[in-house]
Amino acid sequence: MNRNTILAVLALGATLAVAAGARAAPQDVLGPDDARHLLARTGFGPTAAEVSALAPLTRAAAVEQLLAGTHKTARLPPPTSMLALDPLRFPGPNATLEERRAFNQRNNREGLELRAWWIQEMLTTPSPLTERMTLFWHNHFVSSQQKVRFARLMHGQNVVLREHALGSFAALLHAAAKDPAMLVYLDVAQNRRGEPNENFAREAMELFTLGEGRYAQQDVKEAARAFTGWSVDRETGRFVFRRGMHDAGEKSVLGRSGRFDGDAVLDVLLAQEATADHIVSKLWKEFVSPDPDAAQVRRIAAEFRRSDYAIKVALRELLTADAFYAGENRGVLVKSPVELVVGALRQLDLAPSDGLPFAIVASGMGQNLFSPPNVKGWPGGESWINANTLLARKQYLERLSRADAGMGPAMRRTAEMDDGSGAQAIAAVFDDDRERRTRTGRTIERGMRDAAFDANAWVAAQSASEGDRARAVRSLLLPLPPQSPGPDEAPPAILVRTTLLDPAFQLK
Amino acid sequence: MRDNTGMVNLARRTLLARSAALAAVTSFGSARVAFAAAPATARERRLLVLVELKGGNDGFNTLVPYADAAYAALRPRIAIARDAVVQLSDAVGLHPSLAPLLPAWREGTLAVLQGVGYPAPNLSHFRSIEIWDTASRSDEFLSDGWLARAFAAAPRPATFAADGVVVGSNELGPLAGTKLRAIALADTESFQRRARLAKPAAATGNRALAHIRRVEADVREAAARLSVQREFAAAFPSGGFGNAVRTACEVIANPSGVGVVRLTLDGFDTHANQAGTQARLLAELAQGLVALEAALKELGRWDDTLVLTYAEFGRRPKENQTGGTDHGTASVHFALGGTVRGGLYGAMPDLSRLDDDGNVAHTLDFRSVYATVLQRWWDIGARDVLGGRFEEIALVRA
């Protein structure tokens, strides 16, 4: 066997190993298929360039690179309105109609600026994983502007969530619990000695740490006493401990007793095994599959606890696990609206200048950022898809894929996209008037024109070989084989549209 | 006896449905069948309109126990003044915002269900609404909605546009279930246009993919059958809930039929400054229900319509320090319809006997209300659907 033959055999072996995909061993390089999967699950839909960059790495190296690329602050500066320092004041009971209206308008406007900013950050960030984790925690430590009202507080919470998004869950829990938006959202500020308000204590156990059924109502009552005195200083907009309202007496929570304050109760919750199980199980559902493997979850949860709740430790385990790459777990997760909206833009190399239209579009699909439906957050998974939301998703993709950014029919069709559900979902941040719908429609149309897609150029860039382009486009955009593929030789615009409208594009 | 008869009827109908299915044309790519000639029975045509009072409406300021001294004592700031209450009896009366419902009360088509709740109540929004939506015990976890289970036992006619239509919400609630044909829409016109994007396909693939493909098929079928546009003489109130009521009436106006329509009015989680918020919401509710009645009378459907409100819980009798109320337990709900037997049902919970959380005990199990809907409204065996026997109430005539 001469040297060339040996090289050829080695090269063939490598190709076969890559093609085998799910059977690849951890020490092998990912190859394009696994690289695409890893990026799709940890980001917003990969581009061909991102896939090529990760494909030659091993699982461990690729995951390490993604984790190392995360950051603690947003890359884009926040809207200047978020930096205002004036006191937080609700209109009092004697406020005039004008004062109330001015209050609403200001927070509505700032809420929209905030949404636009976050979408833009997701669109342009070099570390999509940072934003995915921030979004994950937004849906874990839920607060909604619908109740909190002050956009500034929602921004402050977003900053806290990003800062700890891949740090320590213990630090994140303490920080999120004292975050002013949370204090307002779960009525912590209304919790005082002698008049405990249990809202926060209950959610802290049920949602943030232990999970449903791992505590008793008596634990909630006792814990609520420990959180008394936690409040928001309306002058500074910051957390404040009001000693006079604190119940300093003895409490008994989950079998432990002491003169607990709020932080001490959070530490009691962190000491429970159920907490790590709950968080890892939730991360599994976010990144791996809808059905966590109980044994694997226990193993990873133990690692997670041993590391003092280092979120990167849990993620590293999940993202390098065989289950993550298993064939049966490909394309089994439904993209959230934000993932779908931002992901399609990123994958098609579109860079709209304003995030707002896309925040509104995602809202119409059931995910209004900064306004989750209730304390449990968006339930996600298959519940993202119903007759209404599926049509909103398809309509968006259809519009995005059209090369003609013409005014006439495009304007009309896009206005139809806002059937009121987007406006309705985002109602918390808009005045409820007819003008709003028109404005919303115009905003979406502006964004769509801005994002004008050049199908010919994009498809040509996906593969050097013309004959290979249909395959390249489909394997980049879809996690599964296309369910209803059009002809390979379809014109680029048709090829892209058919692929985006394929049911498999809804999945990751 | 009744149960046995019901079972026999059910079995017979299933048999008929199956033999019809054999002769039916299978609609493209869907496991469902289109019946050439299987008109809905009068019972099946009976409509249920659910109105969710999301967030947990405060029952004690909705149906006010104005004659009970404990009421005013528990609520020094937010009690509804005795002279403002719309009196229904010498003990209870409605919040003034509900005055538009008075004609229905006088006509005897408004039933007021007092103290509706369940044992060992859960005070968490989503867990409690999950209990209501799935009709589960407080300590059991079911995934399908109670209506999904009901229609699994007694399928709605395949000729229906959909088993259920959810208006103005993306959460299917009692209609959640992978086998149900549930459509969520904001308004009918845009639904028609947008439905063209759905492609017929077989519901195959992994669970998520199969779900997506099934929804696509449902959309196409529903759109084809919800194509009739209808103008109403009835005036619908402006605002989100009024628009949703209008949309509901447009859906109901279609001849192909629908089993359930669900509306949602959100914002009842009044932990602080409750008075103004609740007054506004109850006014929206009352005006919306009045419009619904007027429009359904125009359609000649009021006599085979049952409207029912529900919510995850009521609120605590004692007001909190911020002019609001915290999560409670049992609450009052309303039933309306042309064949509803009006009046007060159940008993006002005892305000002098509160539990450790300061909450009342329920006097009427919500599953009794469901059992009534299933058994007396639709003739569907309630025991299997609800996993137990619950006493029915004489809510509907005939």
Q: Is pLDDT larger for residue A405 or for residue A35?
A: A35
Q: How far is the first Cα of chain A from the last one, in angstroms, to the nearest whole number?
A: 44
What is the Cα–Cα distance from A172 to A167, expressed in whole angstroms?
A: 8
Query: Which residue out of B190, B225, B264, B268 would a mutagenesis test of the A interface target, given it has the greatest number of A Cβ atoms within 10 Å?
Result: B190
Q: Domain ranges for chain B, please list them.
A: 45-386
Checking if the pLDDT of A251 tops 70, the result is yes
Q: What is the CATH number of domain B45-386?
A: 3.40.720
Q: What is the mean pLDDT of residues A85-105?
A: 82
pLDDT reported for residue A431: 39
Q: Is the pLDDT of residue A388 over 90?
A: no
Nearest CA in chain B to A90: B273
* Strand ranges in chain B using DSSP code E only, listed in sequence order: 25-26, 33-34, 47-54, 63-64, 86-87, 93-94, 110-117, 162-167, 182-185, 258-266, 305-310, 331-336, 343-345, 364-365
State the amino acid at position B138 in one-letter form: S
Predicted confidence at residue A23, as pLDDT, reads 52
| Residues in chain B with pLDDT values less than 50 | 1-37
What pLDDT sits at residue B125?
80
Give the mean pLDDT of A76-93.
Answer: 89
Chain segment B106-164, per-residue pLDDT in tens = 999 999 999 999 999 988 787 799 899 999 998 777 878 999 999 999 999 989 999 99
Q: Is the whole-model pTM more than 0.80?
A: no
Q: For residue B168, which residues of chain A lie inside 8 Å, CB to CB?
A: 421, 424
**Which of A20-29, A73-82, A233-242, B129-138 has the lowest average pLDDT?**
A20-29
* C-alpha to C-alpha distance for A185 and A486, rounded to whole angstroms: 49
Residues A62, B118: Cα–Cα separation, whole Å:
52
Q: Give the dihedral sign, CA B291/B292/B293/B295.
A: positive
At A422, the pLDDT band (50, 70, 90 cuts) reads very low
More confident: A386 or A223: A223
Burial-class residue A126 by CB neighbours within 10 Å (0-12, 13-18, 19+): exposed
Q: CA B29, CA A377: separation in Å to the nearest integer?
A: 34
Q: Which of B182, B187, B327 sits opposite A386 (nearest CB)?
A: B182
Does A472 score more than 50 pLDDT? yes
When comparing pLDDT for A7 and A358, which is higher? A358
Band (pLDDT 50/70/90 cuts) for residue A418 is very low
**Predicted pLDDT of residue A404:** 52
Q: Is A335 left (phi over 0), alpha (psi -120 to 50) or beta?
A: beta
CB contact under 8 A, B178 and A195: no
Q: How far apart are CA A312 and CA B147, in angstroms?
A: 43
Q: With CB atoms and an 8 Å threshold, state whether B198 touches A390.
A: yes
* Tokens describing residue B275: 């008075």
Predicted confidence (pLDDT) at residue A7 exceeds the cutoff of 70: no
- What's the pLDDT at B33? 43
Neighbours of A138 (CB within 10 A): 24
What H or E segment, with its residue span, contains residue A194?
A: none
- Decide if A504 and B209 are in contact by the 8 Å CB cutoff: yes
Can you give the pLDDT at residue B383?
96
A10 versus A38: which is more confidently predicted? A38
pLDDT value, residue B4: 36
Give the pLDDT confidence score for residue B3 in this predicted structure: 37
**pLDDT for the residue numbered A392:** 87
Q: Taking phi first (over 0 means left), then psi (-120 to 50 degrees means alpha), and beta for anything else, what does residue B343 get? A: left
B-chain residues near A432 (CB < 8 A): 239-240
Q: Which of A374, A386, A503 sits opposite B126 (nearest CB)?
A: A374
Instruction: Supply the pLDDT for residue B227.
Output: 87
Record: contact A187-B168, CB cut-off 8 A: no
Q: Judging by DSSP bridges, how do beta strands B162-167 and B258-266 pair with one another?
A: parallel
Backbone φ, ψ for residue A296 (5° rounding): -65, -40
Q: Tokens for B300?
A: 């000649």
Cβ separation of A375 and B125 shorter than 8 Å?
yes
Half-sphere exposure of A438 (CA within 13 A, CB side): 3
Question: According to the model, what pLDDT value does residue A67 have?
Answer: 98
8 A C-beta contact, residue B113 and residue B347: no
CA A303 to chain centre: 24
B76 or A95: which carries more pLDDT confidence? Answer: B76
What value does the mean pLDDT take over residues A63-89? 95
β pairing state of B331-336 and B110-117: antiparallel
Domain ranges of chain A: 3-68, 273-329, 337-506
Q: What is the mean pLDDT of chain A?
A: 87
Cα Rg of chain A (Å, integer) = 24
Residues 6+ apart with CB under 8 A from B316: B325, B326, B327, B328, B357, B358, B359
Min Cα separation A68/chain B (Å)? 32
Contacts A–B by Cβ distance under 8 A: 153
Q: How far is CA A70 from CA A128, A166, A325, A442, in A?
A: 8, 8, 22, 35
What residues of chain B lie within 8 A of the CB of A483, using their CB?
Answer: 201, 205, 209, 213
